[in-house]
Every structure is written in structure tokens, then in C-alpha cells.
Structure 1
Amino acid sequence: MNRRMPATETVRMALSTLQSNRLRSLLTMVGIVIGNASVITLVGVGKGAQGLAEGQLNNLGANVLFVVPGNTNTRRQGVTRPKTLVLEDAEAIAAQVPSVTRVAPLINTNQVVQAGARSATGAVFGVTPDFLAVRKFEIAKGRFITDQEESSARAVAVLGSDLRTKLFPTGAAIGQQVRISNQSFRVVGVMAPKGAVFGSNQDENIYIPITTMVNRITGRDPIYGVSLNSISVEARDEKSTGAARFQITNLLRQRHSILRDDDFAVRSQKDALTIVGTITGGLTLMLAAIGGISLLVGGIGIMNIMLVSVSERTEEIGLRKALGARSSDVLQQFLVESLVLASLGGAVGTLVGLGAVSLVAALTPLPAAIGATTVVITVGLSGSIGLFFGVVPARRAAKLDPIVALRSL
């Protein structure tokens, strides 16, 4: 009666066989290495993008709401809707919504900003003094726009840090003159670096009083008045955002004579986080699937090489069976060889992928974002692929008839 070969002996023989064919074993592992490295790198990039977006949104403030226009040129019930949000809407929110502490209306447009012989294109924002507190911006040098400057439409400006560097690379910016739309403005402050939000570099902006923006750059609509691009609203605290949204929505519906669809939207940080999470989560899954294709190709490579190995070792298999080896022993040995190739390739690929993620984090704003769970799953997946694609060669080896196999000796 044939005795079952000990598991340790099966592993020893599998490792010995792989070691005797080092070059072929290494080349077989290349596909798994590339596949694992691709999965780790692409998932890391996807999660890094998600972390970066969420970090930028967290900087907006958990108790900040954004009122933006939408469906702006519709007519319902014989009433013409405002072309956009207007300054009176912001004033009404500040005066009539009890759960709101600050309101910051905003007008923006892209303009060429000049300082002497230098020029740069930047986003010009017409704002009120409350903008700084509502949007959690900070001043690096000088000061921000004052209430007096806003009420009297003074020609003053505050530069973003990158825009300041472009216009005044060597000297101080405070007190200097810049020109916007052929209008001269005195620089009174420079913003602290803020980074990008929704792909827009906040450090290339320039801020002027909203009244100055209307009087000198955008003008006033004769029918609708001062049209706004958005209204930033600061609720009392994070718990008050729900009540603030409800009250703002009801107020604007009343002001715009809306009976059905709103011509505006009130959005919160959580809304943006949900949208970003959905998009980046889908992107991460797509990137992981692309990497998984490389891993699948590596598994097919293992199967091909193991099939070749079965053909080359026909005599060896026949001799072992003639000496009493069971079919299950042969099956286990080939499965162990496939598992070792895939697991080692997976481990090496994981190290390469982690290195690539760290390199991306060092060279780009994306943070390194690979958890231990992802690493364990990826290595386990590569081992599973080795077992899966090793079954066909192992079964073929196990089914060889020893008499037929020995005829080739």
C-alpha cells in the first residue's frame, strides 16, 4: 500500500526543483511581480487622490455651506427667474437666517494682472471682509480688506502667494500697485499658501472688495442688480448646518417665487465629500482592475511554464510513480511549485509597488496611501492565482501513466 508523502518532503522537493532552474523560475515570476506592483501602485495612487481631495475639502470647514446658481434662465408661472444669485440674496440670508453667523458673497472672473513689466493670469475675486473667516483663509503679510474699504469701493487688493511670487519675485508686494482691467489697485496683503481646491490653485487668486469689483470690472445688471457666482455661508456650528440649509432654501424659494424646481443649490462639505468619495472610489476600483489584468497575465505565464515543465519531467514523474509515489503526491508538488512562484513574485511585486507609491508621494502632492489590508489581500491574491493556474499542469502531471511515461527513457 502506497504511503502518503509528508508535506515537508513535498515542499522540499518543490523548492529543490525551482532552485535547479533558477533563471526560468525568475522569468516566470516576472509576470506576477509586474502584476502585483501594478495593483499596489494604482490602488495607492487612487487612494492618494481620494485622500488629497478629502483633505482639501476638510479645509473648507465642516460648518460651511455653499449656495450656487442653477437653472438660471427658466420661466415658470409667468415669473422671470433671476439670471443668477444676486447680492440681495446674500444680504437676506445674513439678516433673516438665525442659524447663520457669517455670509460671504463672491464674484469671480479671470483677468490679466500686471505689475510693472510683469503680468500673470489669475482669478479675480470680489469679496467682503467676512470671506477670510468663512473660508478659513489666512494672511501671511499685510492685512485683508476692511469694512470701510468695501463700503467705499476702494481700489485695494490682496494677492495669493503664487501670484505674488510671479508679479514681485524679488521685492516686497505690500504697498505696490497692480493693474486689473486697466484699473490700478494698491496691494495691502498677501495670502498664506492654501493649495488647490477642486483642481483650482487658490494661491493664484487676487481678492478685491466686491463693491470695487462691481463698479470697476464686472458692472451691474440693470434688471437683476449685482449677480453673484456663489455665496459662502458659515453656520453656528456643524450641527446647525442642516437647519441653516433648510432655512436658506425656504428663504430663496420665497425670494425667487419658486413653486417647483429650484434655480439654486445649497451644498455642504459632506455633499462634496460624498461625491468625491464616489468618484475616487470608482477610479480606485478601475485602476485595481487594470492592475489585476497584469496579475492575470502573470498567472497564465505560470501555467504555461508549468505545462512545459510537465512535458520535460515526464520520465521523472513516471519513475516516481513506479517507485510508489501517489498521484496526489505529484499533484501537490506541482501545486506547491506554482504557489511558491506566485507568492514570491507577489512579495517582490508588493515591495516594488510600495516603493513606487512612496516615489509618487515624494514627487507629487498625492499622499502615500496603502494600508496593510491592501498588501495582505494583494499577496494573498497572487498566491491564489498561482494555485488556480497551477491546477491544470498539476492534474496533467498527476494523471500520467507511469508505464507510458517510462517508455521515453
Structure 2
Amino acid sequence: MNILESIKMAILSVRSNKLRTILTMLGIIIGISSVITLVALGKGSQESMNKEFKNIGVNRATIYINEDEYVSEEINMDHNDLDAIKRIYGNEIEAVSFEQTLSGTMNLGRKTYNMNLSGVSSDYNKIDNFKITKGRFLIEGDVLAGRYSTVIESKLAKKFFPSMNPLGKRLTFDVDGQTLSYVIVGVYEKPKSRMMMGGGKETFNLYAPYTNVEQITGETTYNSLEVNVKSGENVKETMNSIVKLLEKRHDVVGKNKYVFYSAESEMKMVNKITGTMTTFISAIAAISLLVGGIGIMNIMLVSVTERTREIGIRKAIGANKQVILVQFLVEAIIVSGMGGLIGITLGSGLAYAVGSFIKITPKVGLNTICIAFAFSASIGIFFGLYPANKAANLNPIDALRYE
């Protein structure tokens, strides 16, 4: 008997016991569909976060004071530190900026809106990676003079100035009991990914010269600064070098007073965590595959018992051990393979259903499908081998006597 005849006989056996076959496949279906769903959602969320990091800028990094080591304001960073970094690392960095943010409210008719006013440098738009749609961003003259100039986001412009050009207009709002008035010099567009983030009451973000915000708060030193390293430069090496410069300037060399994190390192860490979680949860889901495999072995043992006389007759007319072994092994592989295909289909559908609900596009790759199917088929081989071997080793005389 060739392999095709074994497949035909296996299919006939499966069709003659439909309910039993479906119940046997259930563990495989649940296991494979769970793994496919989790892996697809895990890869989808990983890709979504990678896109978000790219929108933020993979060359972006933040230096901040190590809170565990914080002892006094003497190690806070100031204007001289900023100038030194620009002077020494001008060929390696694209932008460097302090950021000081104030929260307040602005009124439009009877409605009140939340707003954040961030004091930044003139090249901050290269750090935060947003697009200027009207006017300009802050310039060095704004920073040097501490001007009441502001760049607003497009949603705010459309809401407060729906039928006119906002450039040159004044925007008034309240911050900590103070009424402030700024001249609008530019409008920027938020990256779409960031527009999807957060919830609750609508908050508008405005940018002004950090020297201007210092006039309001009286704070002229900072515990963090933002850096955007030029494309092609090594972010880690550049940031380590800047940290060493700050340590020398503040006489705290080797005391771990300054640390940094970059979007690149954050992305790698998130990918590692996501990958580990996906693997761990998939491993738990794979337990049902073990249960399914045991179910296949039990049903195949029952099948061997029910077909003992059939095996005896086939051996009596010339079928050898290998033929019987292949027949039952093929039957086990077909059952587990069918369960795998159904599981892959259900898992893919479930992944897209859940993904649409949580706003993630799942990634069901061809390699994932192939691995899942191969794994389900291998379960049939592994758990079907013992029953098939038992059938192959039956004594034909004893088998023919079996009632």
C-alpha cells in the first residue's frame, strides 16, 4: 500500500467518525488559535509602538538628574551648560533644549479649555518632530529677548480662529492666577499617532521661548534637557559623552548624578518586554496543544482496539508492519493537521476582531502560519506514534480472534 492509499483510508476513517474527530481536534484548535491570536496581536502592538517611537524620533534622548543621587540644586543644568553642549557637540547633535511646562486654561465663549505652555529653545521642533503648517517656529531672537511669542497647534487655530489667519493675533489665557497674552507666530501639526493618545478633556499644547517662561516662574535652572542626535551618529556614545561633560562642569565626575534614556533604548526595551510576554503567554496557551495531543493518542488507541480484526485481516493478506504503522500515523496527522488549519483560521479572525476593538493591526505572517501548521502536524506524529506502533505490532492470529 502506498502513501496515497493510506491517506484515503485515513480520510474515510475520519469521515465515518465525524463527532469523535471534531471532539479530538478541539484541543488542537483551541491551542493553535490561541497562539496565533496572541502572536499576531503581540507583533501588531510591537509594530505600532515602533511606529510611535519613530514619530517621536529614534535619535531623541533625555538627560536628567538621577533622583536617587540628587543632593542639591547645584547640579541643575543652566544656560551655560546648554551653550557648552551646543558649542562642543554642534557637529553631532541636531538640537538641544530645556523644557519647562506650565498648565492653565483658556476660554472661548462659555467653554473652557485646558492648555499647556512649554518653554523651549528655538530648535525644539527638530526634537519633537512636528510640522509647521503656517508661519514659523520660534527663532533665536525670540529666545534671546524672552518674547511673548507662541506657536500653537492646528486644532487650537481652527477652534479659536476658524475664519481668519491666526498669525499675528494675540492669544490670552490664565496660568497660576496670572493672565498672559502671547502673539501667535506659527501653527504646527501634531503627528497623527500622538493625536490618538490620551483621553478626557481636550488639552492644547503651546510653545514659547524658555527664557520667557523663566520670567513667569523665576526658575532658570533645570533637572532635564532634550537632545536630538544627528542621523548616522551613535546616540549612546554621544549621550555618554555629553553626560561626562556635565559631570566635569558640575564637579561630580563618576558620582552618577546624570543619566539619560533614548527613544532607541526605550524601543528596544519595549520590544524585548513585548516579545517575552508574547512568548510566555503563548507557552501557556500551548498547554492546550499538549491536552489535544493526549486526546489524539487516546482516540487513536480506541481506534486501534475497534479495528483489531481489520488489522488482523490486512496482516493476513500480506500487509507488513510498516504499512499498518503509516496508515495509523497518517490518520493521526490528518486529525491534528485539520485541527491546526481550523485553529489558524479562527485565530486569525479572532486577532483581527480583537485588534479592531483595541486599535491594533495584528500581523499574521506566513512564517507564523507555517510554523503553527507544522507544529500541529508534529503533534499528530508524536502522539500518534505509540498507537500506530501498537497497531503495527499486533499479532495477526490474536487480532483475528479478537471479538
TM-score (norm 1): 0.80
Consecutive unaligned residues in structure 2, runs of 5 or more: none
SS of the aligned residue for 2:364 comes to: coil
CA deviations on 1:159-199 (whole Å, 9 max, x unpaired) are: 5567779x7698889455443433445583553232557x9
* Greater shift in the superposed pair: 21-30 or 202-211: 202-211
Whole-angstrom distance in 1 between the partners of 2:75 and 2:287: 50
Consecutive unaligned residues in structure 1, runs of 5 or more: none
Whole-angstrom distance in 2 between the partners of 1:295 and 1:380: 13
Tell me which amino acid in the other structure corresponds to 2:34: S
Instruction: Show the 5 A alignment for 1:2-401.
Output: 5-71=1-67, 73-74=69-70, 80=72, 82=74, 84-99=76-91, 100-108=93-101, 111=103, 113-116=105-108, 117-119=110-112, 124-140=117-133, 143-155=136-148, 157-160=150-153, 174=166, 175=169, 177-182=172-177, 183-186=179-182, 188=184, 190-195=187-192, 206-209=205-208, 210-216=210-216, 218-220=217-219, 225-235=220-230, 237-239=231-233, 241=235, 244-401=238-395
CA deviations on 1:92-115 (whole Å, 9 max, x unpaired) are: 212333423432211246x45343
Whole-angstrom distance in 2 between the partners of 1:312 and 1:257: 86
Whole-angstrom distance in 2 between the partners of 1:170 and 1:37: 50
Tell me which amino acid in the other structure corresponds to 2:81: D
1:157–1:185 Cα contact (<8 Å) kept? no
Whole-angstrom distance in 2 between the partners of 1:324 and 1:162: 83
Give the C-alpha shift of residue 264 in structure 1. 1.5
Tell me which amino acid in the other structure corresponds to 1:316: E
* Greater shift in the superposed pair: 393-402 or 27-36: 393-402
* Greater shift in the superposed pair: 131-140 or 94-103: 94-103
Whole-angstrom distance in 2 between the partners of 1:115 and 1:173: 19
Tell me which amino acid in the other structure corresponds to 1:354: S
1:161–1:191 Cα contact (<8 Å) kept? yes
Whole-angstrom distance in 2 between the partners of 1:219 and 1:163: 28
* Greater shift in the superposed pair: 23-32 or 352-361: 352-361
Change (3 A) 1:10 1:72: closer
Give the C-alpha shift of residue 381 in structure 1. 0.7
Whole-angstrom distance in 1 between the partners of 2:155 and 2:286: 40
* Greater shift in the superposed pair: 199-208 or 50-59: 199-208
Give the C-alpha shift of residue 42 in structure 1. 0.9
Query: RMSD of aligned C-alpha atoms?
Result: 3.5
SS of the aligned residue for 2:62 comes to: strand
2:152–2:207 Cα contact (<8 Å) kept? no
Give the C-alpha shift of residue 136 in structure 1. 1.7
Tell me which amino acid in the other structure corresponds to 1:96: I
2:60–2:262 Cα contact (<8 Å) kept? yes
TM-score (norm 2): 0.82
Tell me which amino acid in the other structure corresponds to 2:289: L
Whole-angstrom distance in 1 between the partners of 2:291 and 2:213: 59
Q: State the aligned residue count.
A: 392
